[in-house]
Amino acid sequence: MQPIPEMPAETSALPHALFDAYAHLAWRAMLTEVNLSPKPGLVDRLNCGAHKDMALADFHRSALAIQAWLPRFIEYGACCAQLPAEAVLNGLRPLGMACEADMFRATAGVNTHKGSIFSLGLLCAAIGRLHQHRQAITAETLCATAATFCRGLTERELRQNNQQLTAGQRLFKQLGLTGARGEAEAGYPLVIRHALPHYRTLLAQGRDPELALLDTLLLLMTINGDTNVASRGGAQGLRWLQQHARTLLQKGGMRTPADLDDLYQFDRQCIARNLSPGGSADLLIVTWFLAQIPHVKHLHNY
């Protein structure tokens, strides 16, 4: 494991049991997503999707490597709770980069969870900050707090200093997609306004949890300007994927195991077109994580 960047001075005793409970949920969110099957174009228990360089075991090793860092993100958010929100991201970056280094070491250089390190790192830091401020920790407050950390991010890294060195910067220049940065800066609207209510509603209706998650993934695929898809298939590939997911939802989505036949076919088509909706998978991880947040409330002890 990488050495841990220096933390700011603690402002009060940190509740490690509580923070570990949230961190455990974030780790489970990564495992829940990758084990979910079948997922169009994505690595799952059945195949490697459109990926030739990664498999299920890589994601399991990656999640385990990241797990050790998740409480650190929460602690950082708590320790720097007195800083202006806009200053938090600078301190989070070294933590995120050290976490990434451990991920790459665990996977022999394969990028399995870089997007999740970004999103879960932000949300975990938001947990620490909200706890320190004695504010409610909910899906909505977490996403709003993460947004304050990222204020000005797309302007700085996509509009102004865009050297097109990363895939995200190139796709912003070419197609105007803001990717993970834009979604975080906006407070995860695709999750808060769409995916999370959809998932909660399906569960409340008694839908099988795996089918509910697959249905929610389809919803995300219809509305997300997924930079992973666009980097592989351009604007045309992204439009095709969005339309295909929309068609399946209009047919009724994933209601019963029989509906999975449509997903198997969709998976084969995504593999043939070399399309992988990794950005939507990252947002599904965020969705599942936020859906579990209420279950940690009983640990709060103010």
Q: How many CA atoms lie within 13 A of 245 on its CB side?
A: 26
Query: In the prediction, which pLDDT does 165 show?
Result: 67
283 burial via Cβ count (<10 Å: 0-12, 13-18, 19+) = buried
For residue 26, how many other CB atoms are within 10 A of its CB?
Answer: 28
Query: In the prediction, which pLDDT does 227 show?
Result: 95
3-state SS of 229-295? HHHHHHHHHHHHHHHHHHHHHHCCCCCCHHHHHHHHHHHHHHHHHCCCCHHHHHHHHHHHHHHHHHH
Domain range annotation of the chain: 16-159+167-297
Q: What angle do CA 200, 205, 207 make, to 5 degrees?
A: 85
For 192, left (φ over 0), alpha (ψ -120 to 50), or beta?
alpha
Query: In the prediction, which pLDDT does 163 show?
Result: 73
Query: In the prediction, which pLDDT does 10 show?
Result: 46
Positions of the chain with pLDDT under 50: 2-6, 8-11, 301-302
Quick check: 56 and 280 in contact, CB under 8 A?
no
Query: In the prediction, which pLDDT does 15 show?
Result: 85
Quick check: 236 and 10 in contact, CB under 8 A?
no
Residue type, 61: R
User: Phi then psi for 222, rounded to 5 degrees?
Assistant: -75, -30
Of 92, 101, 97, which Cα lies nearest the Cα of 72? 92
Query: In the prediction, which pLDDT does 169 show?
Result: 82
Model pTM score: 0.93
For 26-60, the pLDDT digits (tens) are 999 999 999 999 999 999 999 999 999 999 999 99
